[in-house]
Amino acid sequence: MSAAGRFISLEGIEGAGKSSLARALEVMLVARGLTVKLTREPGGTPLAERLRALVLERGAERISAEAETLLMFAARAVHVENLIRPALSGGAWVICDRFTDATRAYQGAGRGVDAELIERLAHTVHGNLWPHRTLLLDLPVDTGLTRARRRAGAGDRFEDEDRRFFERVRAGYLALAAAEPARVRLVDAANAPDTVATRAFDAIADLLPGAA
Ligand code: TMP
């Protein structure tokens, strides 16, 4: 196995438990002597975090689905260039809370943005860089939204969407898992956090140094 790191993305609807899983995986990987960089999208670098705030805040001005898509990719372009690629070249494992699959699911399946446009932007922004593995934390929309709304904080522009929007997002994610089963692995997020972490770790174990 080369010295280059591994790129893992976590996906799922709100309330799926991605952030807790990211922290649990970090602990498990660090315990095996690996260097881990936890990051998220939109965000991950100072400029990309500023773009995140702009795209998630509730404002008076309407943001079209296309503008939203471009903002996601603007943040991603900065993040890939300034954090993800350098971290991978340095041999780190990058665990990224969401990546381009989120644009496919939210802007594509959720908002109806042209899939070809999304694929063209993805190619421009990150070429052939894709996660080595994507863990899709799947759970019923009602369960996810109940969990998300119980969290502290005022939520964001996406959390104001209705249930039907999140059903389309979830279906979009499941279609991605069906289309790319080698990369995108389904993890049942309705389980207890420890079980989710164990199953998620099993789903990336073949990428560990020395794994068959
Ligand atoms: P988070 O809740 O995982 O922090 O993500 C913030 C929101 O941004 C979430 O509702 C999903 C949304 N999002 C998109 O719509 N498209 C994207 O490409 C990304 C990365 C996130």
What domains are defined for the chain?
6-207 (3.40.50.300)
> Residue 211 pLDDT more than 90?
no
Is the separation of the CB atoms in 70 and 51 below 8 Å? no
**Residues within a 6 A CB radius of ligand 1:** 14, 41-42, 56, 72, 97-98, 102-103, 106-107, 158
End-to-end Cα distance, the chain: 10
Which of 64, 73, 106 is the best mutation target for the ligand 1 pocket, counting ligand atoms within 8 Å of the beta carbon and taking the most? Answer: 106
Q: Using CA positions, which residue lies closest to atom 15 of ligand 1?
A: 106
Residues 6 or more apart in contact with residue 160 via CB below 8 angstroms: 58
What was the pLDDT predicted at 154?
Answer: 74
Q: Using CA positions, which residue lies closest to atom 19 of ligand 1?
A: 102
Q: pTM for this one?
A: 0.96
pLDDT band at 98 (very low <50, low <70, confident <90, very high): very high
What was the pLDDT predicted at 1?
Answer: 42
pLDDT tens digits, residue range 180-209? Answer: 999 999 999 999 999 999 999 999 999 999
What was the pLDDT predicted at 152?
Answer: 67
pLDDT tens digits, residue range 146-157? Answer: 998 888 677 888
pLDDT (mean) for 167-182? 98
What was the pLDDT predicted at 14?
Answer: 92
CA dihedral 137, 139, 144, 145 (to 10 degrees): 130
Which of 98, 103, 121, 134 is the best mutation target for the ligand 1 pocket, counting ligand atoms within 8 Å of the beta carbon and taking the most? Answer: 98
Choose among 157, 129, 139, 150: nearest CA to 54.
157
pLDDT band at 113 (very low <50, low <70, confident <90, very high): very high
- What atom in ligand 1 is closest to the CA of residue 103? 18
Which of 49, 111, 158 is the best mutation target for the ligand 1 pocket, counting ligand atoms within 8 Å of the beta carbon and taking the most? Answer: 158
pLDDT band at 59 (very low <50, low <70, confident <90, very high): confident
Q: What are the tokens at 115?
A: 């899939």
| Cα–Cα dist 85/82, whole Å | 7
Residues 6 or more apart in contact with residue 141 via CB below 8 angstroms: 13, 163, 166, 167, 170
| Cα–Cα dist 44/127, whole Å | 19
> Residue 32 pLDDT more than 70?
yes
pLDDT tens digits, residue range 128-170? Answer: 999 999 999 999 999 999 998 888 677 888 988 999 999 999 9
| Whole-number percent of the chain with pLDDT over 90 | 89
Choose among 136, 144, 132: nearest CA to 204.
132
Residues 6 or more apart in contact with residue 152 via CB below 8 angstroms: none
